[in-house]
A = this chain, B = another copy of it.
Amino acid sequence: MQIKLTTPLDMHLHLRDEDMLKIVAPLSAKSFSGAIIMPNLVPPVSTKDEVIAYRQRIIEAIGDNKIELYMTLFFKSTYTYEFLQSIKDEITAIKLYPAGITTNSEGGVSGFDIDELKETLNAMSKLNIPLCIHGETNGFVMDREAQFVPIYEKLALAFPDLKIIMEHITTKESVEALDKFDNLYATITIHHLLITLDDVAGGMLAPHLFCKPIAKRPEDRDALQKVALSAHPKVMFGSDSAPHPQDAKESSHCSAGVFTAPIALQLLARLFETNGSSFDNLQKFVSDNAKNIYGVNPKEQTITLSKTPFTVPQNYGKVVPMYAGETISWSLVD
């Protein structure tokens, strides 16, 4: 059995920089036709020159133009209309991190005061630049995302013309928020569709499944699966594939991030098949919905998957992928 996906898109991707970029960027380009590139480098990508230079480094790392690069800027409340207008053609979205919430987010937003944010967010609304948010408070780890939902709702109400993407949602509360406001959308990762906290910390502790937001409860995963498998028009696939060197993961202080880019499509094919969902829905979840939500129009490509066992490599360079050494029932066809 084979399936063909048209122009699969990864709407939340970390490519890092330097050596790591050279390892991971070609792997994403092999599976995906386009990707939203996260800006949380050190220092974060926050000027036009930095966006252009980062895009160029990614293209060089991949070696061709096979993947459409949707660049993002690291949100700052000091961005003016004039600045955003000048950079609009170089970026697809702006990513907002609460300060200190995950890898390289120290310069993010503290508090969500509408008055402080309104100049920038009104400018983004006028210029039709979507706002991507890592929605977690600094509360108890299992509650952080649910506690952030009222902030999503406050922003959605205050800026009704702003497209707000709730990134890598993990809870039923976020799923429920989707249908309350026209301008709230979401990305969902493959790992949050597959695992719960039991997989991270219920047996042996599994650092390669540790990410932010942390995987939640079975009922949360069920809620995510429901909207993904039914291709709810406001959700789209975003891997949040986030590579770290093996020695930063298998350590006394393990970094957050699951590396899934090279196995995401295979796992999605398996998930949609085993749950009896149609591959038409997979097509929507992994491409069409994102095109509609973002209004992007990437060059059409076809990626073929075959129901042939694929054993996940133990590592890609210095990075250990999710499910290293395990066999998945679907393969990419080169």
Interface on A for B, CB 8 Å cutoff?
140-142, 196-198, 200-202, 204-208, 210, 214, 217-218, 249-256, 320, 324
Contacts and interface: CB of A to CB of B under 8 A. Distances in A.
Contacts of A218: 140
A140 B206 contact: no
Given A142-B142, A207-B254, 12 more contacts: A140-B196, A140-B198, A140-B202, A140-B217, A141-B202, A142-B217, A201-B201, A204-B256, A205-B255, A207-B252, A250-B252, A252-B324
B253 A251 contact: no
A207 B208 CA distance: 12
A194 to B, nearest CB: 16
Given A205-B210, A207-B207, A250-B250, A141 B198 contact: yes
A146 to B, nearest CB: 13
Contacts of A320: 252
Contacts of A141: 197-198, 201-202
A167 to B, nearest CB: 19
A200 B202 contact: no
Given A140-B196, A141-B198, A204 B254 contact: yes
The 10 closest A-B pairs by CB, nearest first: A205-B254, A141-B202, A204-B253, A205-B210, A141-B198, A250-B251, A250-B250, A205-B207, A141-B197, A204-B254
